Structure 1
Amino acid sequence: MRRRWRQTQYIVDLFWKRWVKEYLPMLQERRKWNKTCRNFAIDDVVLVVDEAAPRNSWPIGRTTETMADSSGLIRRVRVKTRTNELEKPINKICLLLEAV
């Protein structure tokens, strides 16, 4: 029984590592600076990336504030999750659902 549980945990860990390495970068697609892309907006639903957190425990939240640089591009956002409010750079969040 214990052997089966360890095997299952091993497979789940492999899946999670592969998901983070292969699929997550596709959600955070980057474009060259000379091409315009959509900025984050208030009320976007996002996944907060945290490599230190255990698998399947990254929080989902909603953006409450956007912070632009001098050129008008959004560089940081404030995200409200179920338990708290975080300020994160845009490379540490993934857009799941655009605001309407």
Structure 2
Amino acid sequence: MLTRNVPPLTSLPSPPLRDENPNRLNHYRRLEQLRQHFWARWTAEYISELQHRYKWRTRHTDLQLDELVLIKDDGLPPLHWRMGRVSKIYPGPDGIPRVADITTARGTIRRALNRICPLPSSQDS
């Protein structure tokens, strides 16, 4: 089997190729275009599926302490988003949680719940 040298997903960013005509690209650039397309779709579709969106009138299960979460950061590529565990939850004046403290490998940070994606666990299924 012939293997080609493909850069790792953590490599430096390459020029945007998503709008280029695939027929005019060489093999490497076509692979890079596919990789960029994958990460764009993963960011837009999969991550948004992790964030449960409900009507405001409906109560749902709140974020739990020690739950594993992904911290969405628009300034970083998806592979560099941090993971952490919820250490404290702060409810708003209406009693609904709005902000959480998350313990990561670099320390504790405070984020709004709309910037946090709870990861599925074996208990969810």
* TM-score w.r.t. length of structure 2: 0.70
Larger radius of gyration: 2
- Measured on the aligned residues, the alpha-carbon RMSD in Å equals 2.1
Which residue matches 1:65?
A: 88
Kept after mapping to 2: 8 A contact 1:44/1:97 = no
Unaligned ranges ≥5, structure 2: 7-25
The equivalent position to 1:36 in structure 2, one of 42, 52, 59, is: 59
The equivalent position to 1:23 in structure 2, one of 46, 50, 73, is: 46
Unaligned ranges ≥5, structure 1: none
**CA separation in 2, counterparts of 1:18 and 1:9?**
14
Higher strand share: 1
- The structure whose RCO (Cα within 8 Å, separation 6+) is larger is 1
The one-letter code matched in structure 2 to 1:70 is P
Q: Percent identity?
A: 27
**CA separation in 2, counterparts of 1:8 and 1:55?**
18
**Aligned pair count?**
99
